[in-house]
Amino acid sequence: MIAPEGIRDGRYYAEALYTFAGEGVEDLPFKKGDLIEVLDCADANWWRGKILDSNEDGLFPACLVKFT
């Protein structure tokens, strides 16, 4: 479930706690500290998001981010 503190302007944002290289074509690779807009969190383990600096989007493990 998404924490209320992750909401800004009606959108959910999270910060990468670790670097994630990605495992498949649909994955969203990111570096520690990247800011990610969470687009879909219907699955408890894998979320869809978009990196704010690059507009790249894809799936990533929810356990690697924290809401900001």
Question: The domain that contains 54 carries what CATH number?
Answer: 2.30.30.40
Q: In this predicted model, what pLDDT tens digit does every residue of 18-43 receive, in sequence order? A: 999 999 999 999 999 999 999 999 89
Higher-confidence position of 32 and 9: 32
Give the domain range for residue 42: 4-67
Q: Is the pLDDT of residue 54 over 60?
A: yes
pLDDT of residue 30: 98
Buried b (16+ CB within 10 A) or exposed e, 28-51: bebeeebbbbbeebeeeebbbbbb
Residue 32 makes CB contacts below 8 A (sequence gap 6+) with 16, 17, 18, 19
Round the average pLDDT of the chain to a whole number and report it: 90
The pTM of the full predicted model, rounded to 2 decimals, is 0.85
Task: Check whether 7 has a pLDDT greater than 70.
Answer: no
Structural domains of the chain, count: 1
